[in-house]
Amino acid sequence: MSGEKQDFFDKPDNIRKMLRVFYGICILLFALDFVIHRHTEFRWEGLPGFYPVYGFVGCVILVFAAKWMRTFLMRPEDYYDKRELTDFNADSGDSLSAQAPSSAQVKPQLSGGHDHV
């Protein structure tokens, strides 16, 4: 992870190389489970691949659950502000107004991410 080289991450080639190294490490770590004898204290812990599978599945579930939570928890950015700051601004004038944009409408877009790596 070196952030010091200028524009290193702008080249898709570099990204592809890094990802390949990363996948390699993942495979190696998984394979080590069959080679190294781990001392275990928990009944499922001894299963080969317990930690990799738990980590991967756990995170995927985490992300999907969080996305699902957005469907009923997400509100526009000024949801609280538009009411809470009305009184405040009436008292103190514009110099202290909130930085929140007044009418940022949020449409629940639940698919698609940032431009990925």
Partner 1 sequence: MFEVAPFIPFFVAAVLGLLLRGWLRAAVFIAVPVLGLANLWLLGTSSASIEFGHYSILDFNLLLFKADKLSLLFGYLFHIAALISVIYALHVRDTLQQVASMLYAGSALGAVFAGDLLTLFIFWELLALTSVFLVWARRSGRAYVAGLRYFTLHILSGLLLLGGIIFYAQTHGSLEFGPIGLDGTAYGWMIFLAFGIKCAFPFFHNWLTDAYPESTPTGTVFLSAFTTKVAVYALARSYPGTELLVYIGATMACFPIFYAVIENDLRRVLAYSLINQLGFMVVGIGIGTSLAINGAVAHAFNDVIFKGLLFMSMGAVLHVTGKINGSELGGLYKKMPKTTVLCIIGAASISAFPLFSGFVSKSMVMSAAIKNGHDWVWLILLFASAGVFHHAGIKIPYFAFFAHDAKLPAREPPVNMLLAMSIAAALCLTIGIYPQALYSLLPYETPYTPYDVTHVLTQLQLLFFSALAFVWLNLRHLYPPELPSVNLDVEWIYRRLVPDAMRALFNRLFALDDRLRSAAVGGVERLVEGVASHHRADGVMARNWLTGSMVAGVVMLLGVYLVLGWV
Q: Which of residues 19-78 bind partner 1 (CB under 8 A)?
A: 19, 22-23, 25-26, 29-30, 32-33, 36, 38-43, 45, 51-56, 58-60, 62-67, 69-70, 72-78
Both tokens of residue 47?
């299963």
Nearer to partner 1 among residue 17 and residue 101 (C-beta): 101
Contact 97, 89 (CB under 8 A): yes
- Cα gap 53→47, rounded to integer Å: 10
Asked if 88 is part of the footprint of partner 1 (rule: CB under 8 A), the reply reads yes
102 touches partner 1 by CB under 8 A: no
Q: Alpha-carbon distance 50 to 69, whole Å? A: 27
Number of residues that bind partner 1 (CB under 8 A): 74
The residue whose two tokens read 């877009």 is: 109
